[in-house]
Amino acid sequence: MPRRRLFADLSPLRESVDFRWLWAGQSLSAVGNVMTMVAVSIQAYDVTGSSIAVGGLGLANLIPTLLLGLFGGSIADAVDRRRLVLLTSTGLMAVGILFAVQAFLHWENLWLLYLLTATSAALAAVDGSARRTFPPRFLPVRLLPAAAALNQLSFQVAIIAAPLLAGVLIATVGIGAAYAVDAATFLAALAGVRRLPPMPPVGGGATVGLRSVAEGIRYAARHPLIGMIFLLDLNATALAMPTALFPALADTHFGGGPQTVSYLFAAIGVGGIVAATLSGPVGHLRHQGRAMLISVALWGAAIGAVALTHHLWLGLVCLAIAGAADIITTVFRATILQANTPDDLLGRVSSLDLMVGIGGPNLGNLRAGTLGGLLGPAPALLLGGLTCLVGAGILTASSKTFRQYDASS
């Protein structure tokens, strides 16, 4: 394969000025978002000294996302999406400024951290549902896989680089500096969106409300491709999400400490970066459904294999393979959804995708933690990988349409 096709396809950046500005703004903003996630966890622990209080941040983030996610998609299908994202991004920047202010003024209030986290999550649920509808407006279908891979590449870089940057800033300047950087990065996000043309709703727009939400759910459930991508994602994350087991796995299975835990987390991210960087061939795959089925099965097999070795280096290799498979799954999930959903429903279906992407891993970690407490971390990890493999096999056998889906048609 030619060298130029091995690495990430930059065609969306070259061919679309709109995508280039949008991607650059989102990439910088992603770094800021992860920095705030790290900073608020550290601040919550500093204020309370309780891991339970830190865990409560996850609940403060999850509940507004699930409650407003569906309605966020309904709103995105009813109004000018560009204007909506400008509004939500401005709101998110304001929340970032408030995070910085309370840190610089040393307001040590846990309830305020929860309130700001919940407000940010509510705005992000609407913002994310609308943003996911942008690429099909200014990119041809053939470039959607490459665009999704570039988005994943910038996200993977953010989740590895941002915590390091946040750590340096917090140690040298203070925790407020990390929040301030996040607020500043929204200027880049706003600049990217402001350059886009207006995006009024197709056909006059949907009516915001439960009926509109139900219409999006019905479309996703009845569509042989859209419903399957959600089932596959839930099969991978709800059945085989491993991260809740990493602390116990590092201690009892690999005989390590906190540094070993960090290695386990980093391995998935490293695998994701490698896959996103070498994603050039992804845009040329016609049988995207088949590729997604294989990548979900590979995720389950790699996660289960970690439990079968006591060699840390081999476990890290397996987790890196799982991270790479996760990127392929995510890229084709986004591509199939955007290519097969009418524009007037894209906001609502994208909001379902957002909820599956957030809810599945949280359910998976709850399942993994519970089983880890009952069976031990290694058996729980192995069981998760095996059930994911079985689920992938059942889904593969049950959907001939998805197996044979040809993106070129």
Q: Could you report the per-residue pLDDT of 158-178, keeping only the tens digit for each?
A: 878 887 788 888 888 888 999
pLDDT band at 2 (very low <50, low <70, confident <90, very high): very low
Specify the pLDDT at position 55: 65
Residue 1 CB neighbours (<10 A): 8
pLDDT band at 43 (very low <50, low <70, confident <90, very high): confident
Residue 401 CB neighbours (<10 A): 11
Q: Which region among 58-72, 221-235, 237-251, 366-380 has the lowest average model confidence (pLDDT)?
A: 58-72
pLDDT band at 228 (very low <50, low <70, confident <90, very high): very high
Task: Select from 407, 351, 388 the least CA-distant residue to 129.
Answer: 351
pLDDT > 70 fraction of the chain, expressed in percent and rounded: 97
Tokens of 305: 């294999």
Pairwise CA distance, residues 20 & 195, whole Å: 10
pLDDT band at 227 (very low <50, low <70, confident <90, very high): very high
Q: Running DSSP on this structure, what letter comes out for residue 173? A: T
Q: Running DSSP on this structure, what letter comes out for residue 141? A: G
8 Å CB contact between 234 and 360: yes
Specify the pLDDT at position 280: 81
**Which amino acid does the sequence have at 409?**
S
Pairwise CA distance, residues 112 & 168, whole Å: 25
Q: Which region among 48-52, 228-232, 400-404 has the lowest average model confidence (pLDDT)?
A: 48-52
The per-residue pLDDT for range 255-291, each reduced to its tens digit, is 887 678 778 888 888 899 999 888 888 778 889 999 9
Task: Select from 262, 280, 213, 278 the least CA-distant residue to 72.
Answer: 213
Q: Is the dihedral of CA 81, 82, 83, 85 positive or negative?
A: positive
Pairwise CA distance, residues 405 & 401, whole Å: 6
* Cα-based distances in Å from 208 to 76, 205, 216: 9, 9, 12
Alpha helices (runs of H) in 278-311, residue ranges in sequence order: 288-306
Q: Model's pTM, two decimal places?
A: 0.80
Residue-range domains of the chain with CATH: 1-206 (1.20.1250.20), 209-409 (1.20.1250.20)
More confident residue, 383 or 361: 383
Mean pLDDT score, 75-97: 92
H or E element that contains 230: helix 226-240
pLDDT band at 1 (very low <50, low <70, confident <90, very high): very low
